Amino acid sequence: MDQAELIWHNGELVPWEEAKVHVLTHGLHYGTGVFEGIRAYETPQGTAVFRHRDHLERLFKSAELYYMPIPYTLEELRAATHELIAANELRECYIRPIVFRGYGQMGLYPLDAPVEVSIAVWPWGAYLGEEGKRAGVRAKVASWRRIPHDSLIPHAKACGQYLNNVLAKIEASKAGYQEAILLDSHGFVCEGSGENIYAVRDGVITTPPQTAGILDGISRKSVFQIAHDLGYELVERDLARAELYLADEVFLTGTAAELVPVREIDDHAIGTGEPGPVSRELQRVFEDALHGRDPRYSDWLDLVKVPTKAT
């Protein structure tokens, strides 16, 4: 992976190679951590973190759901992220804050283990590739069901929970597909391994509801707003698996992947087998919003002062 020079670790900027934890870190054993995936983009106004506050609010909510008090305020983590991007002189980057139970107490009762916070930033291209964004990806419905509400908390972006996504991703990848689609415990469509999912039929966009065990994506909220502004009807309801095969278009959204058309699912071509007009239009406007090219969405940008790199 690409690296940066510094990582923010419990309030200090430390060299990338020295941002380490003890092997008896609680989160390493039991998955007791929560995290975020955020991106900063170069915009005409300068470097800007996309929907920064929304991501940090979700981080605080995820932590609260797992009884993990974060020893910093949201504003402190926001300022730390700005400082870190500037210190690394990155004009565009992926941002990974993580809050986890640290070293000091083993056993399943975690509340006496310290809570540690790190933020890493590094250059990271589109998760499913630029080619995937352009031509669409091939996906497979995984045999693994998305974690149900009554076992874990799909709404939390919590470390241990991602073993579910990891299994689905490995299965899809070994079978030769770029992404996995998980069904919920009732067999309805839930989401991609790291993205929310949408089907388009006769111009109407349909996406699974909160009760389907989705992560409440911030890109999803953005696409809702953009679809509304473009005059599309968008419906949240349970989707049967075959509705994906029968859709005119299917696409995914997530911070890492951005907006990615799906051209094939389980070896069924979706629509014409190429990204369709609705996905294309939403993708274009979403990209404009991310890169600060659309004034309607300038409120989503949190500008960072990055020093100009000496050449």
Q: Which of 92, 179, 184, 195 binds ligand PLP (CB under 6 A)?
A: 195
DSSP reduced 3-state for 206: strand
Phi and psi of 235, rounded to 5°? -120, 135
- Select from 97, 127, 94, 93 the least CA-distant residue to 252: 127
Which SS3 state, helix, strand or coil, does residue 146 take? coil
Q: Which of 199, 220, 259, 263 binds ligand PLP (CB under 6 A)?
A: 220
Stretch that binds ligand PLP, among 93-101, 118-126, 189-197, 225-233 (CB under 6 A): 189-197
Q: Does 194 bind ligand PLP (CB under 6 A)?
A: yes
Query: With CB under 6 A, what is the number of residues at the site for ligand PLP?
Result: 14
Smallest distance from the beta carbon of 272 to ligand PLP, in angstroms? Answer: 26
Q: Report residue 160: phi and psi, to 5°.
A: -60, -30
Under the binding rule (CB under 6 A), the answer on residue 43 touching ligand PLP is no
Q: How far is the CB of 19 from ligand PLP (least distance, A)?
A: 22
212: three-class secondary structure by DSSP: helix
- The answer to the question of residue 85 lying near ligand PLP (CB under 6 A) is no
* Residue 263 interacting with ligand PLP (CB under 6 A): no
Return d(Cα 77, Cα 42) in angstroms, integer: 21
Q: How far is the CB of 15 from ligand PLP (least distance, A)?
A: 28
| Residue with Cβ nearer ligand PLP (217 or 261) | 217
Q: How far is the CB of 121 from ligand PLP (least distance, A)?
A: 16
Q: Catalytic: 157?
A: yes
CA 44 to chain centre: 24
| Subset of residues 113 to 172 that bind ligand PLP, contact rule: CB under 6 A | 165
Catalytic residue, candidates 133, 140, 157, 169: 157
Q: Is 218 among the residues that bind ligand PLP (CB under 6 A)? A: yes
48-79 burial, b at 16+ Cβ within 10 Å, e below that, comes to bbbbbebbbebbbebbeebebebebeeeebbe
CB of 157 to ligand PLP, least distance (A): 6
Q: How far apart (Å, rounded) are the C-alpha atoms in residues 68 and 101?
A: 8
Q: Which of 205, 195, 194 is nearest to 243 (CA)?
A: 205
What gap in Å lies between CA 46 and CA 301, rounded to an integer?
10
Exactly one of 33, 110, 217, 292 binds ligand PLP (CB under 6 A); that residue is: 217
Active site residues: 157
* Residues at the site binding ligand PLP, with contacts judged by CB under 6 A: 37, 165, 191, 194-196, 215, 217-220, 253-255
